Amino acid sequence: MSKLIKPEGYSPALDLQQTELAIKKIKDFFLGQLSSELRLRRVTAPLFVLKGLGLNDDLNGVERAVTFPIKDMDDAPAEIVHSLAKWKRNTLAEYDVKPGFGVITDMNAVRADEELDNLHSIYVDQWDWERTMTREDRTLRYLRRTVERIYGCILRTEYYLSEMYPQLTPFLPEEIHFIHSEELRRQYPDLTPKEREDAICKAYGAVFIIGIGGKLDDGSVHDLRAPDYDDWSTPNADGFCGLNGDLLIWYPLLNRSIELSSMGIRVDAEALERQLALQGKEDRKNLYFHQRLLKGKLPLSIGGGIGQSRLCMVLLHKAHVGETQASIWPEQMRHDCREAGIMLI
């Protein structure tokens, strides 16, 4: 359990019962704030989808989905979702959601390949949202404005919580800093991508890193992304490529950066063709989702996911995501957490 961070002298600001009540308050308040800010309507989400439709997300492109046969459908294989980026876009089309409006849902997923630590669990719960947009809105300016609006919802939730629990002193900065992953590489050329995230977040407190998935000038990538949801290859107004990114904050308790959201403007047909070719995955063009997109049957959209348990962890000043969600952890990790005063649910 060498990856477990154990803050020296850690003592939770809230006990278990207070924590459970506070989690409910955070989720209710933030959902209302985000839904109002981006004009999102709630929809019901699936826990699993049929394999082979292209609706499940591939995240970084290497994670394995949990699969099981459906007895009453001749053992047709189903997959527990990783997230709902492509499913949500399909839902926008089915509900005929107009530009400027969108959908939001409680996404519950199982990611069996996660490496477990203070931030990562095999159980993932997110607010997954998707918003219809016009072609004129497919710009870096529109992406940045959307990020600022989401960050504003986070700040309002932090303040709301501190009013109820004065021991939870707000620590997030009032503004979020934007930087492209190529600019970040040039600023810290001798650091790894993760070390760059820590350095820039420590400097600014809250950062949105633009352009996740495409190759940087030295041939590396900041982080991997699947080719069929975020647009990471279209040139943008700052002279680099990418209309997507990650929202991160500096978390003093763990002395590291934490990603709270991954989001972006989604691929149009041109970007999909280009990104599938770049990753050698042109065979996906025959899948149900990809066919609908290529034939113009899906709207242009922007969307993302915001980790529920992770946001609760940060706003409640917890040391481990297992303090804000129920999951499975190695027994050694549970033992080490108990010794460090970290009470896992």
Q: Which residues are catalytic?
A: 57, 111, 126, 246, 259, 262
Task: Provide the 8-state DSSP code for 221.
Answer: B
**SS3 at position 146:** helix
Q: 325 is written with which tokens?
A: 């969600």
User: For residues 175 and 106, what is the distance between their CA atoms, to the nearest angstrom?
Assistant: 27
Give the three-state DSSP class for 222: coil
How far from chain centre, in Å, is Cα 270?
24
Could you tell me the CA-to-CA distances from 324 to 47, 92, 144, 212, 300 in Å, in that order?
20, 31, 29, 28, 35
- Compute how many other C-beta atoms are within 10 angstroms of the C-beta atom of residue 247: 21
134: its two tokens: 């016009």
Beta strand 177-180 with 123-132 is unpaired
Contact 150, 264 (CB under 8 A): no
Rounded Cα distance between 80 and 207, Å, is 31
- Do the Cβ atoms of 80 and 109 come closer than 8 Å? yes
Which amino acid belongs to residue 189?
P
Q: What is the number of alpha carbons within 13 Å of residue 82 lying toward its C-beta? A: 20
Please give the Cα distance from 334 to 339 (Å, whole number): 9
In this structure, the dihedral spanned by the alpha carbons of residues 195, 207, 264 and 240, taken in order and rounded to 10 degrees, is -70
The one-letter amino acid at 253: L
Q: How many residues does the chain have?
A: 345
At which residue do the structure tokens 């980790």 appear?
Answer: 307
